[in-house]
Amino acid sequence: MMIPPGRYPVPERGLDFDLPDGLAVSRDPVCYLVSGDNGFGKTTFLEKVVIAALQKEGLPFLYLGQDIRTQLYTLRALLSVRGAAVSGVDDERLVEMWIARSGPAADVFLLDEYDKYLPDFGTLFRRCDAFIRTYFIVSHLDPAHIRPDPERFRHRRLHFELAGRDGAVKHIRIRQEEPWPR
């Protein structure tokens, strides 16, 4: 699947995205590290553009959002009604159980600032090694410690920058670049 280059307006959030380079999804293994200032629409882009495209194509995905507490309550309830023993299980283990049960059908994993809750992604990447081919990882911290296997995954940084304002609308350019010097 390809999210083609172009303009992606989200007027209800006052954002207008300019994506000069398309995004390959669920092809060769790739990890997109998403960065940019607060209020530049990183989460909105994931939810309104990337997830919308995945749903349109029928591509299964996993998503851990910024507001993790609400999601954890939901995961606990979901796993419980599916018969999993979740009583007394800590949050980290709960996420692992969810991945083990729901993950293998998924190609894409979106993690929005998950590193502020669990900085060590090593276990999570290992659990997903057999099935995830595309990661979108939003982080304000040093991304070097949250990359999946660099031998297998190509890494690209998606940097959100303000290109201008038009009244209440922010024009955001999404620059694609190498995350680390070669």
Partner 1 sequence: MAVSDIKTLLNAYDGQYLILDYNHLFVSGSLREEVWLLRRADEPALVSEILEAARTFGIQEASAEKGFDTYSGGQQAILGCLLVMALIRAGGVRGIKLLLSNVMDSISGENRRRLRVLFTEMAASHGLRFFTPREGGLRELELP
Q: In terms of CB distance, is 30 or 97 closer to partner 1? A: 97
Binding mask 84-113 for partner 1 (x = CB under 8 A): ------xxx-------------------xx
Pairing of strands 154-166, 134-138: unpaired
How far, in Å, CA of 21 to CA of 111, rounded? 21
In which residue are the tokens 């309830």 written?
77
Q: DSSP letter for 11, please.
A: G
Residues 8-67 that bind partner 1 (CB under 8 A): 13-14, 36-44, 66-67
Binding of partner 1 by 81 (CB under 8 A):
no
Minimum CB–partner distance for residue 29 and partner 1 (Å): 27
Report which of 63, 73, 29 is spatially closest to residue 43, judged by C-alpha positions. Answer: 63
In the list 7, 69, 85, 87, the residue contacting partner 1 (rule: CB under 8 A) is: 69
In which residue are the tokens 């694609």 written?
176
Q: In terms of CB distance, is 143 or 148 closer to partner 1? A: 143
> For 175, phi and psi rounded to 5 degrees?
-90, 135
How far, in Å, CA of 113 to CA of 156, rounded? 17
Binding site for partner 1 (CB under 8 A): 13-14, 36-44, 66-70, 72, 90-92, 112-113, 115-119, 140-141, 162, 165, 168
